[in-house]
Structure 1
Amino acid sequence: MGTSGAKPGSKPERERLRHQLLAGGCEPARIAAEMARRWQFNPRQAWRYTHGLSQTAVAARCNDLLGDGRAPMTGKRISEYEAWPRRGTRPTVHVLALLARVYGTVPRVLLGDDELPLLPEPERLVFDQLPPAEPATATAPPAAASGPLSAAAVRAAAHASGAHAERAEVTEVGAITLEQLDHDVVQLARTSIRARPAETFGELVRVRDRVYQLLGRRAHPAQQSHLYLLAGQTCGLLANASMELGCYGAAAEQSRAAWVYAEITGHNGLKAWLRGTQALIAFWSGNPREAANLAQAGRELLRHGTGFVRLCNIESRAWAHLGDVRETRKVIGMGHRARDHATEPEQLHDLVGGEFGFDEARQSFCNAGAWVQLGEPALAIEAAERALRLYTTDAERHRRYGGEASTRLEMTDGYLAARELDAADVALDPVISTAATAGVAHLATRLSGICATLDTPPYRNSREARELAERIRAHPVLTGA
């Protein structure tokens, strides 16, 4: 049915087919399927041709939806997404969701069956939760066909619009359900700082799985976005709990899944928090350089407020471990200035808070750790004393589990560096005199490090140092009792 010399699937042929099918009352999904069948277009090409749009026009519509002129979509990028996987650039779930909004469909139909296995596992998990496309149902095309149309075709288009609107009005996700899940996530975020990770892990999994179930149901776009945000928050909390339990590989995987959901919703607050959590995972996995880079990337997403303070302090620990005095001092100072100039509370870090928050006691604790690492015992002790004062005066419901014990470990290191053994003994006694601190993250590692310090000059030949080391080694976390 092509004209002489016309390339198969050329624009004249595509437009002729598009207009014929539109005039016959066909919906976009049917037209895209026919174009793909007839000319072997991949789904992203077929859907763009279905709407008669150029790559530049698609990019412009994406930019309108994003409302962000700093990193605009371009026709070249659309071309790269369409050329994948043979060449070009792999579209992320976020990009596919954006294109789906432009074309009036769902993200899943923009990937071929042979393309889906090529996505990273966290993104495939997202697609598993996305609702499938309904056969031959989609919104009406953005532009009407040129040329004369019959009255029957016009009526058919109106009927199709009415039928789609009727289906779109139906949802299987209720407002009360979302309200309850919001409440559950807030409570879990706040409980997580007061309890051992093992005590909240099961409930976090339950809430996350409930969110996943709802993502498989029919929901309005705003409800889906809400559910993806909840999925990101619960996976983020699971990443933090996994890290506290010492399972760094699992923590990293949870954080990557959470990042996909944060990308889908475009929630910079959650993305910044996740970058900080990924930085902590890298730090405690022995990769301080990666931790510093991740924290810096987070600061690009959130340039003020509590979330920015948190990122500065995570980054300071990494630079201190690398021995970079200048960078450590710089980011510690940035954190304090951001705290002093904070104005509007941020929804996730301040209003939800809990594990998503970062109070002054935590900030002082991080400062103490950085100063200890840099060999500045006086500054470390001063920061630890401030943290302990804040922990003592803070309301019980806001106190972090293990916060005081962790601070005392930093204070002990500071006193030992200052060669004040008696003061170190006093600071450490509340930690080693009870088994209740056994669930504090990294306690075994830190106590072993203190013992190692006591076994080196100037403490090696000190009776008091040997006695303190014996008391430390008797703690259940080191004996395995």
Structure 2
Amino acid sequence: MARPRREPRTVLEHLIQQRDRTYEEMAADFERLDERATISARHLARLARGERGTAGATPATRRALQALFGVPLDELLRPWVPTPTTTALATDGSLVLPSSGDERNIITMAAERARRFTLLAAESTTPESVDQLREDVQRLALAYPQRPLTELLGDLAETQDTLFALLERRQTPQQARQLHFLASVTSGLLAKASHDLADPHAAMLQARTAILCADQADHNGLRAWLRGLQSMVAYWAGRYAEAVRYAEMGTAFANQGSGTTTVWLPVSLARAYAALGNGDKALAAVRNAEDAWESVRPDDMDELGGICTFTRPRTLYYAADALAWLPNEADNAVSYSTRAVAAYSDTTDPAWAFGDEAGSRTDLAIARIASRQIEGAAEALAPVLDLAPEQRINGIISSAQRVHQAVTRAGLANDGRELIEQIEDFTLTPLKALPR
């Protein structure tokens, strides 16, 4: 009489049981997916029983597990909870649909498994796999300004790992250039993610890796965009002269093309010059950025969209950010920041970005404080202070702290005590403090 099967302890153990295969047979499948992915039957069994965490798994092993089961390793190691709609697998490994209720999850899982198989199981990179990766990178670029980083970081790291794994294999020159371009963009997104988590060291490391890949792709628009990222990281780290230097380096590449980086770099210069107290250069840079819109023609970076393209609302926000540093430009700061807040009022607009809207509102608050309008400043800042901790990225926290400083420097600490307390409470829980 056959012994009853043990209740599975993890999702991985459940899926292996559904396939009715031994751990030895499953471990043997790994090398067929990725020659660098090896795992012993004993190690696989311990993972399935929940005795080992994700830390001991190499990137290649994680990729192979996800390719085999269509689920990331973190999900595979979660405790298994039986439900009426639990996905089952036939003895040949094919999916068995439940009677109702969970079809969308099955479709998502199957699509992810197919994507991973297409990217990593083939002997050589195919045009289809490059197209899939470009679609993945574009999806992340579009989502980045509008969704919390906590929802994207895993996908970003996984996409970068996949691209690096493919670049370690032999590629045709054309495919190598395409993969280096995508790896550079993804590393740039991770540089921004590191900055948002208040880790400028990691941000610059990712940016340097991205620049190395951009050089291999030989793409000036990409080089210009990455220098803009470095300028942004340096600006928010308080290294304003360094921010100027990176923006000037990027300008040399941007001027060889006509993409929106030709706007981003001069208006980035404006912020850095203003923070250094050089009002004349800051105002000249704002004018240069506005004039640059007359000759913009979208390039490959702009075609990706999202964080990879610079928009007119962001121009208003950056200009407002620059003018907020300059006491003699209080009226212009109110004008630019008011227009920026209005430009970001429609959350369905593809150009909307929660971080840029928050920055525009903090600039408006600072401009109103310069006119001693504490109530107006509090009104401008209220939506920012309502942001969830998952959206409290480094730039937003820094911007809120600038409002705090503006209140105290204007001698309005008594009148603005409630606003000061609200800002202090808000900045106690930045995104970087959340468990990950």
TM-score by length of 1: 0.60
The code of the aligned residue for 2:173 comes to P
Query: What are the equivalent positions in structure 2 for 1:298-317 lying under 5 Å apart?
Result: 298-303=250-255, 304-317=258-271
Out of 286, 304, 323, the residue aligned to residue 332 of structure 1 is 286
Partner of 2:385: 432
The structural deviation recorded for 1:449 is 3.4
Conserved? CA contact 2:141–2:189, under 8 Å: yes
Counterpart residue number, 2:71: none
Q: Which residue of structure 2 aligns with residue 374 of structure 1?
A: 326
Q: Secondary structure at the match of 1:475?
A: helix
Measure, in 2, the Cα distance between the counterparts of 1:434 and 1:297.
Answer: 35
Kept after mapping to 2: 8 A contact 1:193/1:400: yes
- Tell whether 2:202 aligns with 1:250: yes
C-alpha contact (below 8 Å) 1:435/1:476 kept by paired residues:
no
- The structure-2 alpha-carbon separation of the partners of 1:476 and 1:359, relative to structure 1 and needing over 3 Å to count, comes to same
Structure 2: distance between partners of 1:437 and 1:219: 39
TM-aligned CA deviation for residue 200 of structure 1: 1.3
How far is 1:411 from its partner? 0.6
* Aligned residue in 2 for 1:30: none
Give the 3 Å change call, closer, same or farther, for CA 280–450 of structure 1 in structure 2: same
Could you tell me whether the CA contact under 8 Å between 1:405 and 1:440 is conserved in 2?
no
Structure 2 vs 1, CA of residues 234 and 423 (structure 1 numbering), >3 Å: closer, same or farther?
A: same
Q: Which residue in 2 is equivalent to 1:471?
A: 422
Look up the match of 1:420.
373
Provide the secondary structure at the position in 2 that maps to 1:454: helix
Distance in 2 between the 1:359 and 1:226 partners?
Answer: 25
Instruction: Identify which of 102, 125, 128 aligns with 1:176.
Output: 128
CA distance in 1: counterparts of 2:403 and 2:172, whole angstroms: 56
Distance 1:229 1:457, change over 3 A: closer
Which residue of 1 is the match for residue 17 of structure 2? none
Taking the TM superposition and a 5 Å limit, the aligned residue runs for 1:341-360 are 341-342=295-296, 344-348=297-301, 350-360=302-312
How much does 1:419 deviate?
Answer: 1.4
- Contact 1:431-1:437 at 8 Å conserved across structures: no
Residue type of the partner of 1:467?
E
Residues 227 and 460 of structure 1, relative CA distance in 2, 3 Å threshold: closer
Indicate conservation of the 8 Å contact 1:282/1:288, yes or no. yes
Q: Which amino acid aligns with 2:424?
A: R
One-letter amino acid of the structure 1 residue matched with residue 323 of structure 2: W
Please say if residues 269 and 302 of structure 1, whose CA atoms lie closer than 8 Å, have aligned partners that are also in contact.
yes
Which of 248, 265, 286 is 2:217 aligned to?
Answer: 265
Partner of 2:16 in structure 1?
none
Q: Return the alpha-carbon distance in structure 2 between the equivalents of residues 411 and 239 of structure 1.
A: 28
Number of positions where the alignment pairs a residue of Structure 1 with one of Structure 2: 308
Identify the residue that residue 384 of structure 1 maps to in structure 2: 337
Corresponding position of 2:406: 453
Contact 2:397 2:427 in 1 (8 A): no
Aligned amino acid, residue 360 of structure 1: R
Q: Write the mapping of 1:39-78 to structure 2, written as runs, cut at 5 A.
A: none
Asked whether the equivalents of residues 189 and 354 of structure 1 are also in contact (C-alpha less than 8 Å), the reply is yes
Q: Which residue of 2 aligns with 1:239?
A: 191
How large is the RMSD of aligned CA atoms in angstroms? 2.2
CA distance, structure 2, for counterparts of residue 431 and residue 393 of structure 1: 15
Deviation at 1:402, TM superposition (A): 2.5
Tell me the equivalent position of 1:207.
Answer: 159
Distance 1:330 1:457, change over 3 A: closer
CA distance in 1, matches of 2:161, 2:347: 34
CA distance in 2 between partners of 1:298 and 1:309 (Å): 11
Partners in 1 of 2:312 and 2:200 — Cα distance? 26
Q: Give the deviation of 1:471 after TM superposition.
A: 3.0
1:173-194 per-position Cα deviation (integer Å, ceiling 9, x unaligned): 1111011001001111111111
Cα distance, 1:401 vs structure 2 = 2.5
**Paired residue for 1:125?**
none
> What amino acid is aligned across from residue 419 of structure 2 in structure 1?
L
Cα distance, 1:445–1:233 mapped onto 2, change above 3 Å: closer
Structure 2 residue runs of 5 or longer lacking an equivalent are 1-121
Once the two structures are aligned, what percentage of the paired residues are identical? 30
Taking structure 2 as the reference length, the TM-score comes to: 0.66
Q: Which has the larger radius of gyration?
A: 1
Is 2:176 the partner of 1:224?
Answer: yes
Cα deviation, 1:240-280, whole Å, max 9, x if unaligned, reads 11111111100000000111111112100110001111111
Q: Which residue of 1 aligns with 2:353?
A: 400
- Separation of aligned partners in 2, 1:227 and 1:433: 40
Contact conserved, 1:288 with 1:319, CA < 8 A, in 2? yes
1:171 CA displacement: 7.3
